[in-house]
Amino acid sequence: MTRIASHRGGTLEFGDSTPVGFKATAQMALEEVEFDVHPTADGAIMVHHDPTLDRTTDRTGAIRDLSEAEVRAATINYGAGGHPLSLEELCAIYRGSAVDFRCEIKPGPDGRPYADFVHRVIATLEREGMLARTVFSSFLIETQDELARATERPRLWLVSPPVLNQLGVAATLELARSHAIPEIGVHVDCADRDLMDAVQAAGCQFGCWAAHTQQQIEKTLRLGVKVFTTDRPSLAIAVRDRFVKGEQP
């Protein structure tokens, strides 16, 4: 059965990376919660999509330049008054949940990987008892290589539409092969049967991201992809339930 990953804890339902969204997702009948991590200036690891607070909170500044307390003081827009969580706090929410982790290792505001960050994320997840339940993702090949050196946990290469278009399918798959990448995720609007067949023929698993509308969700189910991320987890669950019952879109 195609897996559902609640993207940033269900952004379109609960706000972007909010405590209320993560807590709600932990109780849902889906398989994964997707989230992003960034380091603070004083060594904490915070769960937030953007490298800065500017777009989704009432504060500004790059997370890497702020203290944990300063990041926590931000109020997330449309998030029921919630504040950014630490990775440890997210682990505490999901330790007793059946929902597993999909952790995206984000770059900094300059688009470059944070120095010495991957191993800190891995160490925190292991200490909190969640590493064995975590799949890692990144758009950056450099980060993919660092993950491969640091852990045997599954990892997923997120291939953006510009990369897919500029490289082409064959070159994209060759790059994945040369870096021993086991799974590829593409934007749902780029996905089709030919692409999925090519990815699977190359020995990679295939998934989608950004399946937020009913039509996009139905597309992933018809294709039978491994997993898709969605900002609307409640809708995704309802659509998949109908599909499983034979009410195919």
Q: What is the tens place of the pLDDT at every residue in 162-219?
A: 999 999 999 999 999 999 999 999 999 999 999 999 999 999 999 999 999 999 999 9
Beta strands in 40-171 (DSSP E): 45-47, 85-86, 100-105, 134-138, 155-159
Q: Which domain holds residue 128?
A: 3-245
pLDDT score of 44: 98
What's the rounded Cα separation, in Å, for the pair 129 and 166?
Answer: 40
pTM comes to: 0.97
pLDDT score of 66: 98
**Res 247 pLDDT > 90:** no
What's the rounded Cα separation, in Å, for the pair 90 and 103?
Answer: 11
What's the rounded Cα separation, in Å, for the pair 239 and 214?
Answer: 7
Q: What is the CATH number for 134?
A: 3.20.20.190
**Res 248 pLDDT > 80:** no
Nearest CA among 150, 159, 206 for reference residue 182: 206
pLDDT tens for 107-119 read 999 999 999 999 9
Question: Rounded to 5, what percent of the chain is helix, strand, coil?
Answer: 40, 20, 35
CB 95 within 8 A of CB 134: no
Structure tokens at 82: 């919630």
Question: How many domains is the chain partitioned into structurally?
Answer: 1
pLDDT score of 249: 60
pLDDT score of 196: 98
